[in-house]
Amino acid sequence: MDDLDAESANVISLIRARNTRPDPALRDVEAYWEALRNGRAVPPRAEVDPRGLAHVLDKTFLLERLAPGLARFRVAGRAIVATMGMELTGMPISTCFLPEARPRLGRALDQVFEGPALAHLNLDAPRGFRRGALTGQMLLLPLTDQDGATTRILGCLVTTGRIGRKPRRFEIGSATARRIVGSEREEAARTSPMPQRPTAADRPAGKVVPFPALVDH
């Protein structure tokens, strides 16, 4: 199913997500992000302190939105760089994915930025000569920039298996997202024909919908 916002996808997403328990590193990064929110819908990038993520810093990254469906790395941890086999700063996140997975990745990015939403991707790297089984989980969490716009992402990538001698690229096995719901005023502004983007000071406190409100299959 390609319609990411189809309400009928919710039931399917719960079935497919039953064995997608997040890795402890992802839970720690999400807990840190939740602490930064402190009652706000989306926390600002300026408040992200690497010291608060010291024990998982090699698995975390920061993204900057370039255009719909596109984002580039501002920072990438050492473990992620090792998996990809290249320096990632300034590179598009699509570099980490096989060509056939990139449209789906783009839709997930748009969900995070525009929802705003939290996204969780289950990843698989194809096996081959000297390439054993390698799976991964990716978490994408929205952040605001200095103008209060949601144009940044705090992310985490963990992998299980051997990388092998050659860099690996991923397919997306499944993807779920949970939309952050704010006040009625915020919802009305988001769906109006010409919405006004709220500043960080105007942004109301929000909550995360407990079930996947936006999904991809």
Q: How confident is the model at residue 128 (pLDDT cuts 50, 70, 90)?
A: low
Rounded Cα distance between 170 and 136, Å, is 8
Strand partners, 73: 63
Closest CA to 97 of 168, 154, 175: 168
pLDDT tens for each residue of 61-91: 999 999 999 999 999 999 999 998 889 999 9
In a domain, 163, yes or no: yes
DSSP 6: -
In a domain, 3, yes or no: no
What confidence score (pLDDT) does residue 156 get?
Answer: 97
Task: Tell me the range of 9-23, 26-40, 153-167 where mean pLDDT is highest.
Answer: 26-40
Token couple for 166:
């050659």
What confidence score (pLDDT) does residue 66 get?
Answer: 96
Q: Which domain holds residue 181?
A: 9-216
In a domain, 4, yes or no: no
Split into its structural domains, the chain has a count of: 1
pTM, rounded to two decimals: 0.76
In a domain, 167, yes or no: yes
Q: From its phi and psi, is residue 193 left (phi > 0), alpha (psi between -120 and 50) or beta?
A: alpha
Phi/psi of residue 58, nearest 5 degrees: -70, -15
* CATH number of the domain within which 211 lies: 3.30.450.20
In a domain, 13, yes or no: yes
153 residue type, one letter: I
In a domain, 154, yes or no: yes
In a domain, 115, yes or no: yes
Strand partners, 75: 62
In a domain, 1, yes or no: no
